[in-house]
């Protein structure tokens, strides 16, 4: 879906020609600059990072040539992309770098760029400035809302000055679309919702890995298995999920819950987390969950797995996925991956997971923090093979 949408709006005879770049319909490929602020700091790629990693190989280089750049990146991220032999390069440009527009303009000249696809705040601000001067069409792509720092006056002003320089905008969710429209002032008619996507290769893995094979690999039998692929920071809803699972085990005493996670390392604490001491320390985050497991009598029935890079086995082995989020900003990408395995899910009725449920009807929505509703939904799906198959098929 992402590849088709991107190609459609990058077509030289369509959107670019309409916006008057002066390009002719030459036989050479379309040259596209991908520019993103960063792709997370701990190596666990967020939506933009996954798109960089997964989508670029899908393009036919005879038609579209992608030139991927990070404004900045941590050593962990650089290692992840280097290990994948990905050509993305780091510019080491800070968000207050006064020379950033000139550096980006030089890239456009170097690669003879026809379109800039700009991800997140600094890239979309600097890039649209260059686009306005050089006459290069720009696409803005956002995955999140403003949570890590206040929306400063200078960004507010620049967003309004540059709004008409936004040829097209992609939002990762309906919530993000509203933010781009109402806060960043991008014209609504230019915004399209483009949910997180997974590569075809991952779908192929899902078709080849059976539930039985995955369970054999994990040493499991036929007991009900729930799975949450998540992190351990605030507002993830893990405590409510554990309480709900404790209720489920009163009916299904052999049930198991896998918490597949990556330690949360904030490069900057989100607003509202400053007073939460344990949010600054991954070891404390894990200790809190371990204590919550023990206090609910779940030791042995909850298995914590520190791995977000290769969760495929856990998707395949599970019966029901869980997303008990208590904040609208958390990504649905792991649920989308679970859907590739035909796994229904129980999710709170906020943010991207709620949008997926409304659109695809592939699970059950429950109120935030409602342990009784969550446990009832978990039981309903786990105890009904026909319902599980129906929801998973959708």
129-164 pLDDT, tens digit per residue, is: 999 999 999 999 988 766 556 677 888 899 999 998
Pair 52, 90 in one domain:
yes
Pair 251, 144 in one domain:
no
Q: State the Cα–Cα distance between residues 263 and 286, nearest whole angstrom.
A: 8
Q: Using the 3D structure, point to which of 178, 193, 208 is the last residue of a domain.
A: 193
Residue 58's pLDDT is what? 81
Q: State the Cα–Cα distance between residues 188 and 165, nearest whole angstrom.
A: 14
Q: Using the 3D structure, point to which of 168, 193, 218 is the last residue of a domain.
A: 193
Pairing of strands 138-142, 115-119: parallel
Residue 94's pLDDT is what? 79
Tokens describing residue 293: 């497991």
Residues of the chain with pLDDT under 70: 1-26, 41-45, 145-150, 267-268, 308-309
Among 180, 91, 103, which Cα is nearest to 142's? 180
Residue 21's pLDDT is what? 43
Pair 18, 88 in one domain:
yes
Residue 139's pLDDT is what? 96
Tokens describing residue 391: 């929801």
Beta bridge partners of 365: 347
Residue 77's pLDDT is what? 83
Tokens describing residue 303: 């298995």
Pair 185, 214 in one domain:
no
Enclosing domain of residue 313: 200-393
Among 230, 254, 231, which Cα is nearest to 338's? 230
Which CATH number does the domain housing residue 237 bear? 3.40.50.2000
Pair 179, 229 in one domain:
no
Side-chain half-sphere of 229: how many Cα atoms within 13 Å?
27
Answer whether 296's CB lies under 8 Å from 243's CB. Answer: yes
Q: State the Cα–Cα distance between residues 196 and 93, nearest whole angstrom.
A: 26
Tokens describing residue 190: 């230019």
- Spatial neighbors of 133 by CB under 8 A, at least 6 apart, are 101, 105
Residue 9's pLDDT is what? 43
Residue 137's pLDDT is what? 95
Phi and psi (nearest 5°) for 112?
55, 55
Q: State the Cα–Cα distance between residues 59 and 79, nearest whole angstrom.
A: 23
Other C-beta atoms lying within 10 Å of the C-beta of residue 188: 11
Pair 154, 11 in one domain:
yes
Pairing of strands 320-323, 302-306: unpaired
Q: How far is CA 81 from CA 78, 263, 292, 299, 375, in A?
A: 5, 19, 35, 37, 39
Its pTM stands at: 0.79
Q: State the Cα–Cα distance between residues 126 and 104, nearest whole angstrom.
A: 8
Pair 169, 68 in one domain:
yes
Phi and psi (nearest 5°) for 33?
-90, 120
The total of structural domains in the chain comes to 2
Q: Using the 3D structure, point to which of 161, 177, 193 is the last residue of a domain.
A: 193
């Amino acid at each position: 879906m992402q590849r088709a949408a991107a190609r459609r709006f990058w077509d030289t005879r369509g959107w670019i020609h309409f916006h008057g770049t002066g390009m002719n319909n030459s036989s050479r490929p379309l040259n596209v600059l991908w520019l993103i602020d960063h792709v997370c700091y701990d190596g666990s790629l967020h939506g933009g990072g996954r798109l960089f990693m997964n989508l670029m190989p899908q393009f036919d280089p005879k038609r579209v040539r992608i030139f991927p750049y990070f404004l900045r990146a941590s050593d962990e991220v650089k290692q992840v992309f280097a290990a994948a032999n990905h050509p993305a390069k780091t510019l080491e440009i800070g968000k207050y770098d006064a020379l950033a527009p000139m550096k980006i303009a030089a890239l456009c000249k170097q690669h003879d760029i026809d379109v800039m696809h700009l991800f997140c705040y600094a890239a979309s601000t600097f890039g649209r400035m260059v686009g306005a001067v050089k006459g290069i069409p720009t696409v803005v792509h956002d995955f999140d809302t403003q949570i890590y720092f206040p929306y400063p006056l200078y960004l507010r002003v620049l967003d309004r000055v540059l709004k008409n320089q936004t040829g097209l905008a992609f939002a990762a969710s309906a919530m993000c679309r509203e933010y781009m429209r109402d806060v960043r002032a991008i014209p609504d008619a230019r915004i399209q919702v483009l949910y997180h996507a997974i590569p075809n290769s991952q779908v192929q893995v899902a078709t080849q890995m059976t539930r039985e094979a995955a369970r054999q690999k994990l040493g499991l039998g036929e007991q009900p298995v729930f799975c949450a692929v998540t992190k351990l920071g605030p507002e993830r809803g893990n405590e409510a999920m554990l309480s709900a699972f404790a209720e489920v085990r009163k009916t299904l005493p052999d049930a198991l819950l896998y918490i597949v996670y990556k330690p949360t390392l904030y490069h900057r604490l989100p607003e509202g987390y400053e007073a939460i001491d344990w949010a600054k320390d991954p070891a404390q985050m894990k200790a809190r969950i371990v204590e919550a497991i023990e206090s609910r009598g779940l030791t042995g029935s909850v298995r914590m797995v520190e791995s977000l890079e290769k969760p495929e086995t856990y998707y395949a082995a599970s019966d029901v996925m869980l997303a008990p989020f208590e904040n609208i900003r958390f990504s649905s990408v792991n649920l989308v991956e679970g859907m590739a395995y035909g796994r229904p899910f129980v999710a709170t009725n906020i943010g991207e997971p709620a949008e997926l449920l409304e659109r695809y009807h592939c699970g059950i929505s429950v109120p935030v923090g409602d342990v009784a509703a969550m446990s009832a939904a978990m039981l309903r799906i786990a105890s009904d093979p026909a319902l599980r198959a129906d929801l998973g098929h959708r």
